[in-house]
Structure 1
Amino acid sequence: MLMYLGLSMVLSLSGMLVFGLKRKHLLIMLLSLEFIIISLYLNMFIYLSQISYDYFFLMFFLTMSVCEGSLGLAMLVLMIRTHGNDYILSFSSLW
Structure 2
Amino acid sequence: MFFGFVLFMLGLSITLVQSKHLISVFLGMEFMALSAMLISSIAVYSSSSYVLFTMCMAVCEASIALALIVSMVRVHGSDRVMALSLDKS
CA RMSD in angstroms, aligned pairs only: 1.5
Aligned length: 88
Amino-acid identity (%): 31
1:84 aligns with 2:80: no
Give the counterpart of 1:45 among 35, 41, 44.
41
1:54 aligns with 2:47: yes
Question: Which entry has the higher C-alpha Rg, 1 or 2?
Answer: 1
Q: In the TM superposition, what is the alpha-carbon distance from 1:64 to its structure 2 partner?
A: 1.2
1:67 aligns with 2:60: yes
- Once the two structures are superposed, residues 17-60 of structure 1 have per-residue CA deviations (whole angstroms, 9 ceiling, x without a partner) of 110011110011111111111100110010012xxx22111111
Moved over 3 A (4+): 92-95
In the alignment, structure 1 segments of 5+ residues that lack a partner are none
Q: In the TM superposition, what is the alpha-carbon distance from 1:65 to its structure 2 partner?
A: 1.2
Distance in 1 of aligned mates of 2:85 and 2:24: 19
